[in-house]
Amino acid sequence: MVKVVQGVSLTIAASASLIASTAVAQPSNKLTVVVDGITRPRGQVCFRLYDKDKGFPQSAAGVIQSGCTNAQGTSVIAEFHALQPGTYAVTVFHDENNDQKLNTNFLGIPREGFGISNNPPVKIGAPKFNNASFSVEGNTTITVNMRYF
């Protein structure tokens, strides 16, 4: 389950795979993602949580939890609940036009803000999962800085 915190909490339904996995054992690890550096308070900020490199960072393939919240102010917080201990990576994008995707120009350079866990340098091409991954062994908080080109 993803809870997006922004003044008032908003709970977003969990994916079917998460529901199936929680029927066996209910892990209690929580990941809190603080997103800083939102430059324009319009549209929404969307989050994707991955537990492996499949689909990371651009595809929804391999996403285990996701959600969006309105972009208000310069910072938003999302909470990912019921996580098993393990290695994860997060992508965030500022969906300014509410079309549910990160818009890019003809060269593939993002036209909207984005962020990746561990805030790895972005040069040519997207960072790899191992550059963005981190461990969750209990309640964990990370900060992701938005980038705009």
Q: Are strands 29-36 and 140-145 parallel, antiparallel or unpaired?
A: parallel
For residue 8, pLDDT beyond 60: no
Indicate the number of domains in the chain.
1
Task: Give tens-digit pLDDT for 38-89.
Answer: 999 999 999 999 999 999 998 989 999 999 999 999 999 999 999 999 999 9
Domain of residue 59: give its range: 2-145
As a whole number of angstroms, the longest Cα–Cα distance in the chain is 46
Domain at 79, CATH number: 2.60.40.10
Cα separations in angstroms, 38 against 33, 34, 42: 14, 11, 10
Q: What is the pTM of this model?
A: 0.82
